[in-house]
Amino acid sequence: MKTLIVFALCFLSALSQAQPSQDTLYIYGPGGPGAAMEESAKLFAIQYSIPVKVTAGPEPKWIQQAKQNADLVFGGAEYMLTQFKMQHPGLVDSTTRTELYKRRAGILVRPGNPQNITSLKDLAKPGIRILEITGAGQLGMWEDLAGRQNLIGGIQKNITGSFGNTAIAIDSWKADNKYDAIIIFASWHKRLKEVSQLIEIPKKQTVYRGTPIAITTISDQKSEAWQFIQFLLSSEGHAIFKKWGWE
């Protein structure tokens, strides 16, 4: 009898080790909200003893893995999550889609502001070299801003570099001093303080983008995933996002 019990215990132990843990929540999305999401995940894991792994960056780097184990997907703007849903039919559970917090556009210039850029109008002056981001939640963002002040033509003429996502744009900003300014989410200054200075755009003149998140249809931890969303919506979650530049 004792031999059977020992055998059974050994068998169950081996079986549990062979099965991968399903306790970890896997979350994927673009790099912009990544820092806030990662800090939120760490605090959530401590409070609720549920491990969370956040993978943030350009979609091509994580999409194949996400299709295998994603519990949640977030976006850097509402249209980004909509595009994601269209490009990957059946992966996002639209009934769980939740808006978190908004973030505003701003202007990043070189430390010390050598071109003395103080407003959006200054970006239309001759000789100013602007770096443009055409994706990652910022598609058309500069045009939305410029259109309010009749500056579309002037700013467009000064765009000397265009990049499809923020990660590539920031790499270029760091490597090439030819750019004087980037129209970008103001929140990025929190992560680029050593290589940039933030020029705020007045609230009545700026534009905002949202930060949506949704549970996937393939998640087998929907209850825990929803618990994480509720944590993000709590005062603790909001404080973390505000720390990283959201409102």
Give the domain CATH number at 171: 3.40.190.10
Number of domains the chain contains: 2
Residues 90, 116 within the same domain? no
Whether 53 is covered by a domain: the verdict is yes
The Cα 111–Cα 127 span in angstroms is 18
pLDDT for residue 178: 93
Residues 191, 225 within the same domain? no
Q: In the chain, which stretches have pLDDT less than 70?
A: 1-22
The parent domain of residue 165 ranges over: 103-208
pLDDT for residue 136: 79
Residues 62, 158 within the same domain? no
Whether 16 is covered by a domain: the verdict is no
Whether 3 is covered by a domain: the verdict is no
Whole-model pTM: value is: 0.83
Residues 49, 68 within the same domain? yes
Residues 111, 178 within the same domain? yes
Kindly report, residue by residue over 11-53, the tens digit of the pLDDT.
444 434 434 344 899 999 999 999 999 999 999 999 999 999 9
Whether 13 is covered by a domain: the verdict is no
Whether 5 is covered by a domain: the verdict is no
